[in-house]
């Protein structure tokens, strides 16, 4: 991916930091990131159901974890993940992060 999700999260941090200050802002950003992670997991599960690729994704996860457990190397694990990532559908993670951020702010002010 193009790391746009990272840039967007930095923008959220700048906005939240300016509005809430450091003490409260870091927690708002942390919890909105956690909500975004949960939303991303739900979207990813939905993509697996729609694409009927649950078994394939489970096999890919086993391969990646086996690489790490056998070699103990994050590098080998990352290489395997990169090879697998090129073949399948991608989830632009900016969407779940944005949903998580807006949802958490909505929760704070509702």
Print burial letters for 33-62: b (CB count within 10 Å at least 16), e (below 16): bebbeebbeebeeeebeeeeeeeebeebee
Q: Are residues 59 and 19 located together in one domain of the fold?
A: no
Q: Are residues 61 and 81 in the same domain?
A: yes
Same domain, 47 and 96: yes
Mean model confidence pLDDT for the chain:
86
Same domain? 30 vs 60 = no
Convert the pLDDT of each residue in 60-89 to its tens digit.
Answer: 889 888 888 888 888 888 888 888 877 777
Q: What confidence category does residue 2 fall into, taking pLDDT thresholds of 50, 70 and 90?
A: low
pLDDT band, very low/low/confident/very high, at 38 (cuts 50, 70, 90): very high
Q: Number of folded domains in the chain? A: 2
| Whether the Cβ atoms of residue 33 and residue 97 lie closer than 8 Å to each other | yes
8 Å CB contact between 102 and 13: no
Give the integer Cα–Cα distance in Å for 65 and 69.
6
Query: Same structural domain for residues 78 and 65?
Result: yes
The range of the structural domain enclosing residue 80 comes to 54-88
Asked whether 77 and 69 are in contact (CB, 8 A), the reply is: no
Q: What is the pTM of this model?
A: 0.74
């Amino acid at each position: 991916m193009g790391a746009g999700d990272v840039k967007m999260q930095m923008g959220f941090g700048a906005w939240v930091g300016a509005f809430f200050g450091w003490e409260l802002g870091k927690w708002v950003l942390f919890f909105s990131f956690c909500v975004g992670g949960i939303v991303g997991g739900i979207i990813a599960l939905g993509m697996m159901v729609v694409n009927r690729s649950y078994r394939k994704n489970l096999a890919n996860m086993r391969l990646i974890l086996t690489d790490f457990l056998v070699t103990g190397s994050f590098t080998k694990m990352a290489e395997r993940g990169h090879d697998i990532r090129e073949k399948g559908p991608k989830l632009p993670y900016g969407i779940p992060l944005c949903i998580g951020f807006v949802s958490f702010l909505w929760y704070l002010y509702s």
